[in-house]
Amino acid sequence: MAHHSPANVPAADPTKPVHIVFVGAGAVGCFYASRLHYPDHNIHVSLIGRSNYAALAKDGVQLQTRSFGNYVFHPHAVYPSANAAGGVPNSSTSSDVPPPPPGGWDYVVVTTKALPDRVDDSATIAPLVGPKSTIVLIQNGVGVEAPYRARFPDTTIISGVTIISAEQVKPGVIRQNRWTRLHIGPYTTSAESSSSSASPPSASVDPNSALTKRGTEATERLTDWWTRLGGIRDIDPLDEVGLQTVRWHKLCINAAFNPSAVLSGGRGNADMASDPEMRIHLRAIMDEIWAAAPRILGRPFPSELATPDKILASTDRNKGARPSMLLDWEAGRPLELEVIVGNPVRIARARGVELPRMQSLYALLRSAQSVREQKQKEAKGKL
Ligand SMILES: NC(=O)c1ccc[n+]([C@@H]2O[C@H](COP(=O)([O-])OP(=O)(O)OC[C@H]3O[C@@H](n4cnc5c(N)ncnc54)[C@H](OP(=O)(O)O)[C@@H]3O)[C@@H](O)[C@H]2O)c1
C-alpha cells in the first residue's frame, strides 16, 4: 500500500489562520474535531450542531475518552446550520451566531451519517465550499464521495474511513470507548467513472493530476496535524486506490454484521458468530467481498489487512458489541444501508461483478426499513 510520508509538512502559516468546520457534530465529528483545534498553531475548528446545537453553543463538547482522558473542547465557533456557517442571509434567527471566517472555510469536514437516500449532504454543505476549500468525508461505506465530486468537480476532496467506537451519550457529551484509527487519502475520480465505468479506479485514477497533487498535500497536512498536534498515533495516509481498498475491506465487517444484526432479529456480532448457520452466512458475505474487491478496484487487498478468519476470531473475543446499524434500527432512525450494501452492489455490477449475497441483504433490509416506516406513519396517523 502506498504511504505518503507526512515528514517536512509545515505547520499552519502563523500569519494565516486555518479555518476548519465540521458538519455533523456527533460522535465521530466531535472526537476528530477536538484533536484538530490548536489556536496556538493558528488552526481553528468550528462545529455545526443540529439537535445538540444549544448544548454545544453553551458548554462546548465534553469528551470522555479512553485514549486521551476526559477534557472539554471549546470550538472556535458553533453554528446552528450549514447555511448559518456559510453566511447565507437570514439563515439564523439568533444574533449570537458569529459570521463565517472572512477568507472562507479551508476545510469542510463531513461526519454526518451517510444517508444519500434521505438527504444530499453535498447540497447541505454547498454554502461552505469556496475556491480554496478542501472537503473531507469521514463516513462508512463506499461510493459516499460521488455526489460531492459531481457537485464540486474541481474541489479537493479527501476521503476518510475510521475504526473507532464512539457515541454521543447525551447532547454535547461524547464517549470514545476504543480505537482512533483513521485512514485518509485523496479522492479525484469523476462521478461518472466512480459509479458507472467498467474500468477499475486503479486504471482511471491519474496520479499526476492537479487534483491528486492537491489531495495528497491536504492528506499530508491533516495527517501531520492530527498526529503531531492531536497526538493520534494511527492516522494512516494512503493513495486514492489504497484508501478505496480500505473502504472495501471495512465493508467485510460492516456489510456482513450490520444488516445481519437487524435481519436476524437484533443480535450482537459475537452472538451471531456463535450460531453455526449464521457463522456460515457471515463468512460467505466476507468471502464474497474479499473475492470481488480486487476485481472492482484493480488492486488486491494488502497483506496487513485482516482476513475473514481474523475478523471472525476478533469478533468472537469482542463479546457484547452491537453494530451501529442495529442501534439505529432500534431507535427508529434511518439506516446507512445505501452506502453499506446498496452502493457496493451497484458499483460492483457496473464493473461486471455480481454480489448475490449482498444483493439479498440489500433487498431484504431496504424492504424491512420501508415496511417499518409505513407502520411508523400509520401509528402517527392514529394519534
Ligand atoms: N460512532 C462510531 O463509533 C463510528 C465508527 C466508525 C464509523 N462511523 C461512521 O462515522 C459516520 C458518523 O457517525 P457518528 O456515529 O458520528 O454519527 P452521529 O453520532 O449520529 O453523528 C452524526 C451527527 O450529524 C448531525 N447531522 C446530520 N445532518 C446534519 C446537518 N444537515 N446539519 C448539521 N448536523 C447534521 C446529526 O445531528 P442530529 O443529532 O440532529 O441528527 C448528528 O449529530 C457514519 O458514517 C458512521 O457509520 C461511526
Q: How many Cβ atoms sit within 10 Å of the Cβ of residue 308? A: 19
Q: What is the pLDDT of residues 225-280, one digit of tens each?
A: 999 999 999 999 999 999 999 999 999 999 999 999 999 999 999 999 999 999 99
- Cα–Cα separations (whole angstroms), residue 194 to 56, 198, 203, 240, 346: 36, 9, 12, 12, 11
86 lines ligand 1 (CB under 6 A): no
List 24's β-bridge partners, or say none.
none
Q: How far apart are CA 114 and CA 125, in angstroms?
A: 13
Closest atom of ligand 1 to CA, residue 52: 39
Kindly list the domain boundaries of the chain, sorted by start residue. 18-245, 250-382
Burial (CB count <10 Å: 0-12, 13-18, 19+), residue 263: middle
* Nearest of 240, 235, 244 to residue 212 by alpha carbon: 240
CA of 115 to the centre of ligand 1 (A): 10
List 47's β-bridge partners, or say none.
22, 78
Q: Which fold does the domain 18-245 belong to in CATH?
A: Rossmann fold (3.40.50)
114 lines ligand 1 (CB under 6 A): yes
Find cell 465550499 and name the residue.
129
Q: What is the pLDDT of residues 331-369, one digit of tens each?
A: 999 999 999 999 999 999 999 999 999 999 999 999 999
- Cα–Cα separations (whole angstroms), residue 328 to 109, 166, 173, 266: 22, 14, 18, 11
- Cα–Cα separations (whole angstroms), residue 337 to 113, 182, 349: 11, 22, 17
Q: Rounded mean pLDDT of 4-11?
A: 48
- 178 with 171: CB under 8 angstroms? no
Residue whose CB lies within 8 A of the most ligand 1 atoms, among 52, 66, 110, 112, for a mutation test? 112
Closest atom of ligand 1 to CA, residue 111: 12
Asked if the domains 18-245 and 250-382 are classified in one and the same CATH topology, the answer is: no
Q: What is the pLDDT of residues 89-142, one digit of tens each?
A: 888 767 778 999 999 999 999 999 999 999 999 999 999 999 999 999 999 999
Q: Which fold does the domain 250-382 belong to in CATH?
A: N-(1-d-carboxylethyl)-l-norvaline Dehydrogenase; domain 2 (1.10.1040)
Report which protein residue has its CA nearest ligand 1's atom 24: 24
CA of 354 to the centre of ligand 1 (A): 30
122 lines ligand 1 (CB under 6 A): no
* Nearest of 39, 40, 117, 124 to residue 79 by alpha carbon: 124
In this prediction, residue 4 carries a pLDDT of 44
Cα–chain center distance at 356? 25
Burial (CB count <10 Å: 0-12, 13-18, 19+), residue 296: buried
* Nearest of 164, 168, 166, 148 to residue 156 by alpha carbon: 148
| Backbone CA torsion sign across 271, 355, 187, 49 | negative
- pLDDT surpassing 60 at residue 191: no
* Nearest of 336, 357, 250, 339 to residue 293 by alpha carbon: 250
Report which protein residue has its CA nearest ligand 1's atom 40: 51
Q: What is the pLDDT of residues 30-89, one digit of tens each?
A: 999 999 999 999 999 999 999 999 999 999 999 999 999 999 999 999 999 999 999 998
Q: How far apart are CA 94 and CA 91, in angstroms?
A: 9
56 lines ligand 1 (CB under 6 A): no
Q: How far apart are CA 181 and CA 32, in angstroms?
A: 11
Phi, psi at 10, each rounded to 5°: -70, 150
Find cell 448457520 and name the residue.
277
- 55 with 30: CB under 8 angstroms? no
Q: How many Cβ atoms sit within 10 Å of the Cβ of residue 181? A: 14
Report which protein residue has its CA nearest ligand 1's atom 47: 140
3-state secondary structure of 210: helix
Q: All 3 cell numbers of residue 155?
A: 474541489
3-state secondary structure of 178: strand
| CB contact set of 337 (below 8 Å; sequence gap of 6+) | 117, 259, 325, 362, 365, 366, 369
Q: How far apart are CA 115 and CA 369, in angstroms?
A: 13
CA of 25 to the centre of ligand 1 (A): 7
CA of 42 to the centre of ligand 1 (A): 27
Residue whose CB lies within 8 A of the most ligand 1 atoms, among 21, 50, 258, 340, for a mutation test? 50
3-state secondary structure of 317: helix
List 236's β-bridge partners, or say none.
183
In this prediction, residue 9 carries a pLDDT of 52
Q: Rounded mean pLDDT of 213-222?
A: 98
DSSP 8-state code for residue 113: -
- pLDDT surpassing 60 at residue 7: no
Report which protein residue has its CA nearest ligand 1's atom 21: 26
Q: How many Cβ atoms sit within 10 Å of the Cβ of residue 147? A: 17
Rg (CA), the chain: 20
